[in-house]
Amino acid sequence: MSDNAEPSLSPVDLERVSPAQRRVLEMLVKGVSPQEIAETLELSIGTIRAHTAGIYKVFDVHSRSELMSALTPVPPPRAAVPPPAPPPASSLQQRPDLAPPGPSPFRPPELRPLSPPHGNRPFVPRPMQNRNVSHERVAIFIDGWNFAKATYEGLGIRVDFKRLLSTLAGGRTLLRAFYYIGEWTPENYAMMHDLRRVRLGLDVSEPPDPNEAERKRMQQQGFIRMLNRNGYQVVKKPVKVFADGNTKADLDIELAIDMLTLADRCERMVLVSGESDFVPVVRAVGARGVRIEVVGSQQPFAYDSTPERPRAFPARASDELLDAADEFTELGELAGAIELQEPRRPRTFVPAAPPVSQGS
């Protein structure tokens, strides 16, 4: 390869990193600075640094020069070798031993038609199988509370869960997809109702509206049923209501047990969360030879943040979790692939009947 030739990557190296990291890796080997990579890919400099750290971890290096040495060398293309020229006709006339046997050296042999291998049936070619589909088994674990905060409140998008499952599987063999969610019960809903009335200075003796509680319960049951019918295994637990009004379903132990249970049955795990509480289980599963990919976001501000009223990104992925994982995929880069494209159904307005007059 000449000095002016552009460096290239082997397919072996490209398979070791995630699709998001491939674009960063291709620009790193060309000598592009992180700031220029961020401007070209329209990403934040923090995301580029996270991808770079993940690439260094995959190749077990600590600098760009070490990365260039660790890459698999790509051999230069071989020059086309022309076929050997046939001997001149004069040599065949002078050397009869070089002439092929037969009545005439220039007469081709007679070709007889072959009988069809399938009898009288027409031959139908078999379709070529897709060789790009990976047989790597993958298990997906989605922290529902963290995911809802990051997508709905952080990115401002509604999620198409069919497209989400297809995007996270990435053509691999899906072993299981877990979705961990907190379940609202009449007890914790009544507790949340009392806390809100206390904060507003209202009387807490008034019971909550049973119709509102039933509506929320039916809405959540419909969401859980939708997940079950689209390839997810839902793990639910009652929501915890804290004294300051915050709510959370503590499903960290259930998620960790499921990851350890499936560690011997798959080659890759995708963890959709940004909680640093999962660092110990990520290291434990990674020690068993399973490749861990974390999907989260490290964007500093939410979608509706302004210079006048900045708002921090909710459920931001922790640096400790990214350091423990093998790969990191920025959730903001997947927004276009997982966002729900269907518009909301318009609500039908039914006007109220006019009041009946008390006159004649």
| Burial call 7-16: b when 16+ CB within 10 Å, e when fewer | eebeeebeeb
DSSP string over 6-19 = PP---HHHHHTS-H
Domains detected in the chain: 11-70 (1.10.10.10), 137-183+232-238+246-338 (3.40.50.1010)
E runs forming strands in the chain: 137-143, 173-183, 233-238, 240-241, 247-248, 268-272, 291-296, 327-330
Reading the chain (360 residues) residue by residue, the pLDDT tens digits are: 444 445 567 777 777 888 788 888 888 888 888 888 888 888 888 788 888 888 888 888 878 888 888 887 766 666 666 777 666 655 545 555 555 555 555 555 565 555 554 445 444 444 434 444 468 899 999 999 899 999 999 999 999 999 999 999 988 999 999 999 988 776 766 776 677 766 767 666 676 666 776 777 788 889 999 999 999 999 998 877 776 666 777 889 999 999 999 999 999 999 999 999 999 999 999 999 999 999 999 999 999 888 899 999 998 999 999 999 999 999 999 998 999 986 655 544 445 555 555 554
Chain centroid offset of residue 284 CA: 22
The residue length of the chain stands at 360
Cα 303 versus chain centre, distance: 21
User: Virtual CA dihedral for 352, 353, 358, 360, nearest 10 degrees?
Assistant: 160
Q: What are residue 141's DSSP bridge partners?
A: 178, 271
Cβ atoms of 294 and 143 closer than 8 Å:
no
Type of residue found at 225:
R
Dihedral of CA atoms 54, 59, 62, 63 in degrees, nearest 10, equals -100
Taking the complete model, does pTM exceed 0.75, yes or no?
Answer: no
Q: Which two tokens stand for residue 184?
A: 């609202």
